[in-house]
Structure 1
Amino acid sequence: MLSDFRVGVALALRFHFVFLASLSFLIVLIATWMASEFSGRQPATVALDVGLSAMRLILPLVMVLMVQELLSREFDRRYFLSSLTYPRARQGLLLGRFASVVVLMACVLIVIAIALGLLVAWIGEDYAQATGVSLGWPYVATVALIGLDLLVLTALAVFLAMVASTPSFVLIGTLGFMLMARSFAAIIELLTRESWVVEGAESYRAGVGVLGYLLPDLGSLDIRMTALYGRMEFLPSDLGVLVVSCLAYAFAFLWLAVWVLQRKRFA
């Protein structure tokens, strides 16, 4: 598994991972700075909000591109004829490549989070806000849960790479899953508070609520309000259960990926 991890890192670097990570870094910081410049009030809060949103949008895309290159194209281009030649378990290949993606994305997340925090702190020095941002433990917890969100999506992308016939399905499936898992809880809450939004809101809410039994609630992992306003009451009351359930989903997706690979027949 360690050798597969090293191979995965080498392949990612060959696939211009540094370029993609640097581009993500620049996009997040430029979006953050521009948001602060266009905000007349509370520039640090607006900048941090936009920066976190950019991270949650861009990093999953980079992750999917890495999974496509390290796993999907492994079978699409028939590289497995050499990768699986040696007497080793198949799951070593999958788990090693999965670990390489997780470690690389964690490094990118940490670097961008540190740079974003420093930029927001510098922006906040020019304007004294009534309610300042909290770049301490609330910010650390927010970034950590973004990492958990990314871990679940990575496990899903690896599973899709095992069952999909084309690499593009990994991108479409992962991003579609992300959209649903991040939004269904907010839709249910909206329909509960504002039933006039659609006709038959109760039946519509019941239909959307079924997704709660099938998908992890990735939307509730977004606890940026604690960092934006420094108030811990914005934390979900069931945060511990939420974290455990997301870890369970990640483990389940990874286990399914291993199970599919073990039974995969190569022509």
Structure 2
Amino acid sequence: MLSSPNFSTGLRLATRARADWMVMGCLLVVILAALLSAQFSGRQPTAVALDIGLSVIRFLLPLVLVLMTQELLSREFDRRYFLNTLSYPHPRHSLLLGRFITVSALALGLLLLLAGALGLLVWLIGRGYAQGTPVALGYHYLITIAFIGLDLLLLSAVATLLAVVASTPSFVLIGTIGFMLVARSFGAIVELLTHNADVVSDAESYRSGVGLLGYLLPDLGALDVRTIALYGKIELLPADWPWLVLSSLTYTAGMLALAVWALQRKRFA
């Protein structure tokens, strides 16, 4: 069972890592990106601001998540803080899951903050100019943010596993970002090769090779459902969205189980 000291310790470490500065920086970047992008679209400023704002959020939050994982887990082992932490009568998995919950809570809390600020900003922009197809900031937007949160939860589990097995904190950054880029892009590449076979020579074998990643990685690109908010049409939600949610949660649980297993067998010098 998780213990509150591990969670509170994680929060103290996050505060020591100046997480508040990262929060303010992310908020400033999202607001500036949305405002500036809206100025370059004379006919659809709210759609462009929302689209760019969501793209910035999906880019920034994984970076924050990885940096927090490095500080709360990787440096725990790198600086040998575990000698003090593991001296308490708590099982190892309590330490790991406590830090995972801390990182996930910080990332999801920041997501809600940025999503709220972006939604308010888009609403204010829409009051100044009513475009022909208004964006949907109701439950369509909430569903979009929920899917982004699921994306972050899965990436947090992957970063946690890498923090346990990696020998250097920098590998957590490289590995998690690399995983994210591949998992978010392979589905779009397969879709492109399916409908445009003349993009590359021997497209069928290339598509089959890339398609094998679908058996190993979750399709994070399919979790980007912003079109339902941009166009206000819930029918644009993928038909297999229950399977996407279930598979992502299962993959997250699997990564956490591997991380716990690896930590239980980790030998500390």
- Using the size of structure 2 for normalisation, the TM-score is 0.98
- Per the TM alignment, residue 39 of structure 1 is displaced from its structure 2 partner at its CA by 1.1
Alignment match, 1:147: 149
Aligned residue number for residue 35 of structure 1:
37
Q: Which amino acid aligns with 1:30?
A: L
TM norm structure 1: 0.99
SS of residue paired to 1:195: coil
Q: Which amino acid aligns with 2:117?
A: A
Counterpart-to-counterpart distance in 2, 1:132 and 1:140: 16
Counterparts of 1:44 and 1:88, CA distance in 2: 51
CA deviations 1:246-267 (Å, max 9, x no partner) are: 0001000011000000011111
Q: How far apart, in 1, do the equivalents of 2:59 and 2:51 lie?
A: 13
- The answer to whether the aligner puts 1:247 opposite 2:249 as a matched pair is yes
Once the 2 structures are TM-superposed, how far is the Cα of residue 104 of structure 1 from its aligned partner?
1.2
User: How many angstroms apart in 2 are the aligned matches of 1:96 and 1:233?
Assistant: 38
Secondary structure in structure 1 of the residue aligned to 2:210? helix
Q: Distance in 1 between matches of 2:118 and 2:125?
A: 10
Match of 1:89 in 2: 91
What is the aligned counterpart of 1:198 among 192, 196, 200? 200
- Choose from 3, 17, 22 the match for 2:19: 17
User: How far off its partner does 1:196 sit?
Assistant: 0.8
What does the per-residue CA deviation read over 1:200-250, in whole Å, with 9 as the maximum and x for residues that have no partner?
A: 110000000000000001100000000001011211010001000000010
Q: Which residue of 2 aligns with 1:113?
A: 115
Deviation at 1:41, TM superposition (A): 1.6
5+ residue gaps, structure 1, are none
Whole-Å Cα distance in 2 between the matches of residues 253 and 145 of structure 1? 19
Q: Which residue of the partner structure matches residue 219 of structure 1? A: 221
Match of 1:47 in 2: 49
**How big is each residue's C-alpha offset from its partner over 1:103-133, in whole Å with a ceiling of 9 and x where there is no partner?**
1111111111011000000011111211100
1:56 is the counterpart of 2:58: yes
RMSD: 0.6
Determine the C-alpha separation between the residues in 2 that align with 1:88 and 1:129.
57
Q: In structure 2, how many angstroms separate the alpha carbons of the residues matched to 1:87 and 1:137?
A: 45
- Measure the CA separation in 2 of the matches of 1:164 and 1:41: 49
* 1:149-164 correspondence runs (5 A): 149-164=151-166
Offset of residue 10 of structure 1:
0.8
* Counterpart-to-counterpart distance in 1, 2:237 and 2:150: 16
Aligned residues: 267
Inter-partner Cα distance in structure 1 for 2:235 and 2:146: 18
